[in-house]
Each structure stands twice: as structure tokens, then as C-alpha cells.
Amino acid sequence: MPHEPLSALQSRLVAQGAAASHLPRLAGLRELCERSPHCLGLALVGSFAQGRGDRISDLDLAAFVADDRETEFLTQADAVLGGPEVLNVYGQLRPGQVAFRKYVYLDFSSCEFHAFHHRTPFRLRRPFVPVWDPNDFLARLVVDEAPPGHETFEPYPHGDDGLVWELVDCIKWLQRGRTPLAKSYLARLGQALDTVGGASLDAAVVPECRPARPEDFPALQRMLELYQHDISDMYDQDLDERGEYGYDLHRHLEGRTSFAHVAIVGGHYAGLALVGPAFVTQTEGWWMEQFFVLRKYRRGHVGAALARHVFESHPGAWEVGQMPSNLAAQAFWRKVIARISQGHYTESRLTEGRWKGVVQRFRLEPSD
Ligand SMILES: CC(C)(COP(=O)(O)OP(=O)(O)OC[C@H]1O[C@@H](n2cnc3c(N)ncnc32)[C@H](O)[C@@H]1OP(=O)(O)O)[C@@H](O)C(=O)NCCC(=O)NCCS
């Protein structure tokens, strides 16, 4: 099915009463596809593709991107979809799979943009509208299945970050008279908040996160021993003659270019973070030198709280790296950084140079 001229695509939206702000978004994305050598196809899906759209329907788009450029393509699309008229945006990057962002705009329009790695086994259900498909790529993805109904949406799929989007969805359903759907979704959302959020809230760990004081340094030194042993199956190190790994904390104690922070739970040390000057992909800004949460306190959002405290204590450009085999740390940092940067981060895999591994980069402006 060849793609239509842009004017015909826009007419489809106009005929369904779409928000006027969707028309330049569609034009900008089509223009991006035309100049991108990596975009194999872009499909309009969802209610506008079904001809059932209205003035508050979201522009639901799936792009398929070659050469591992899905994150780059998402960033380029953000130049079209982002901007001052955005009320809320969140997203995720899963390199090699998908990068997506969901935008809610001030005029109550919204857009869901997915950039899939072209080898992701994506099932494209009819009806869809090809926005860009010069080589008939989209036809290969088509399956004869009914599109998913709203009733099947699992609530709370992206945690607190996705809540605005979910609540906007409920407002739309209420506005369209689908009150039972909105109410049942809200009830299921409440249950999810009780079980997911409630479980960890009941476990009640609200860490105190603060810069390390001189008197914290003996404890920091010992926690670093625990940390280094913890990752010794991934990072090859030996004990010295005193039975220690050893870590030089002079720079952090001095506190001019490098810094230490601690997390404390119920009066006990629960984690540490060391920060130094960026050196891996840039020389401006900060590098997360070491980061550790004691096992007892893991999966209770101590790490997330400590990371947020550290980032906010050192605004500016950031780079955070993980060893290639430390998949848990990669999952943790992607979540934490996606939240604090609202999805505006890049990730690369370095195979050469002074440091090798996965690196996320983002910038945090100082809070007022
Ligand atoms: C990585 C580490 C710091 C995470 O600390 P933590 O306190 O357990 O993390 P949190 O509970 O704050 O988790 C924040 C998010 O990351 C996710 N996450 C944490 N650990 C994860 C894991 N092992 N696998 C997948 N996701 C994980 C959590 O599910 C949570 O997501 P949610 O908010 O949607 O529930 C901790 O496991 C650790 O110290 N590991 C050993 C040292 C290390 O690898 N340090 C990092 C070096 S780069």
C-alpha cells in the first residue's frame, strides 16, 4: 500500500475533526522521514487510522528504523513533536528494541511516537495508514489480528512517570461518554497503585540522602569494600596484603572536583555515591564514579532517591556508565535517568578508549 501525498494524509485528520496542531506535526515527521536515510517506514495507527478519531484523539505513530538509529530518530522527531506547547512528556529508550515518547500538549492534543528497531518483531494490525513507506516495508509487518481495545490496557505500565498520560486517557473516555471504561480503568489503576506503590511504601524506606561529612569517610571506605566485593564477579580485582581492595577517597574528602554522598535509612548507612569530573564522552560536567546500595535496602527506591539527590546536587551535563555485563545497573540507570531527564537522554556503547561500557548522557538544569 503506497503512502499518500501529505495533503491527503492531513485531509484524513481534518475530516475526523483532529486538533489543528496535529497537521504541522504530521508534516514535520513526513519531512523527517523523507530526509532520513534510516527510516524504513512510518505508520499512523490507532483511532485516526481507523477513521474514528476526534478532536482529542492522539496522533499514534510507529516508525521503523534501520542501522540501530532508533534513539537518534526519536531525538530528531522530538524536534518536531517537542517544544513549549508540551504539557507533559515521558518516554523510554530500549536500545535495539524501541524508543518512544508520549506527549500531552496544552491544547489537549497528544501524540504517541514509537521508533522501533527494524528487526523488532512488531505486529502491525489493520487498519493503519502508511505515512512514509517508499519500499513497501510496512507490508512485511502486517498481521491479521484485531487492534487492541482500551479495555485490555494494563494500568500503571510505566509507573508514576506515565500517570499523567493515563489520567488524560481517562478524561478523554469520560468526555466521549465511555464512563464505565474510565471508571473500571481508574479502579484497576487504584489497585495497581495499592499493590505496586503500596507494597514498597509499606516497607517504608525513605532514605536521608546528603553530601558526605568528614566523619562519614571511614564508613564510606568500608562500604566501598562491600561494593567492590559485590561486583567482583564482573570486575576483576584482588585484595591487597591487608585484605582490602582499597579506594582512594582523598579527592572526595577534599571536595573540590570530586564529591561523596551517602544514603541513610533509619539511622544506618544504606548506600553511597561518588561523583567526579566527566571524562568518558565529554570533559564538561559530571561522571557517576561509583554508586552502591547495600543489599538489604535494594528494590525499595533507595537507589532512585540517592541518584536524584546526587544529580540535583550537581546540575549540568552528566554521563553515567555501566559495565557491559552489569545488566541490573543498566536497567536501574535507564529507569532513573529517563525519569529525571523526562526521556531526554542519549545512550551509547563504548568499545574503545579509557572506559568501555554503556553510557547515558543528559543535562539537568539547576532547579529554581
Ligand atoms: C543498581 C542498584 C544501585 C539499584 O539500587 P536500588 O535501590 O535497588 O534501586 P531502586 O529500588 O531505587 O530502583 C529504581 C528502579 O530501577 C529498577 N531496578 C533496580 N534494580 C533493578 C534490577 N536489578 N533489575 C531491573 N530493574 C531494577 C527498579 O525496579 C526501580 O524501578 P521502578 O521505580 O519502576 O520500580 C543496586 O542494585 C546496587 O547497588 N547494585 C550493585 C552495585 C552496582 O551495580 N552499582 C551500579 C554501578 S553502575
Over the stretch 9-43, which tens digit does the pLDDT of each residue have?
999 999 999 999 999 999 999 999 999 999 999 99
Would you say 112 and 25 are in contact if contact means Cβ atoms under 8 Å apart?
no
The residue assigned the cell 530528531 is 76
325 CA to centre of ligand 1 in angstroms: 15
Q: Which of 63, 30, 49, 56 is nearest to 177 (CA)?
A: 56
Ligand 1 within 6 A of 201 CB? Answer: no
pLDDT of residue 160: 78
Task: With a cut of 60, say whether residue 164 has pLDDT above it.
Answer: yes
Average pLDDT over all residues of the chain: 90
Length of the chain measured in residues: 368
pLDDT of residue 202: 40
Least confident of 65-79, 160-174, 188-202, 267-281: 188-202
Residue nearest to atom 42 of ligand 1 (CA): 292
pTM for the whole structure: 0.57
Task: With a cut of 50, say whether residue 154 has pLDDT above it.
Answer: yes
291 CA to centre of ligand 1 in angstroms: 10
301 CA to centre of ligand 1 in angstroms: 8
Task: Note the pLDDT tens digit of each residue in 243-256.
Answer: 999 999 999 999 99
pLDDT of residue 255: 94
CA distance 166 to 158: 10
Residue nearest to atom 23 of ligand 1 (CA): 328
Task: With a cut of 50, say whether residue 300 has pLDDT above it.
Answer: yes
Pick the atom of ligand 1 nearest to 322's CA: 48
Task: With a cut of 60, say whether residue 199 has pLDDT above it.
Answer: no
Mutate to test the pocket of ligand 1, among 332, 347, 350 (most ligand atoms within 8 A of CB): 332
Ligand 1 within 6 A of 281 CB? Answer: no
pLDDT of residue 83: 86
290 CA to centre of ligand 1 in angstroms: 14
Q: Which of 365, 310, 355 is nearest to 336 (CA)?
A: 310
Domains of the chain: 6-147 (3.30.460.10), 203-364 (3.40.630.30)
pLDDT of residue 201: 40
pLDDT of residue 116: 94
Ligand 1 within 6 A of 304 CB? Answer: yes
Ligand 1 within 6 A of 137 CB? Answer: no
Mean pLDDT of the region 304-311: 95
pLDDT of residue 145: 79
Pick the atom of ligand 1 nearest to 271's CA: 39
pLDDT of residue 198: 41
How large is the angle between the packed helices 22-35 and 70-81, nearest 10 degrees? Answer: 140
In this prediction, residue 362 has a pLDDT band, given cuts at 50, 70 and 90, of very high
Ligand 1 within 6 A of 292 CB? Answer: yes
Would you say 137 and 156 are in contact if contact means Cβ atoms under 8 Å apart?
no
Q: Which of 64, 37, 53 is nearest to 124 (CA)?
A: 64
Pick the atom of ligand 1 nearest to 230's CA: 41
Helix (H, G, I), strand (E, B) or coil at 30: helix
Task: With a cut of 70, say whether residue 266 has pLDDT above it.
Answer: yes
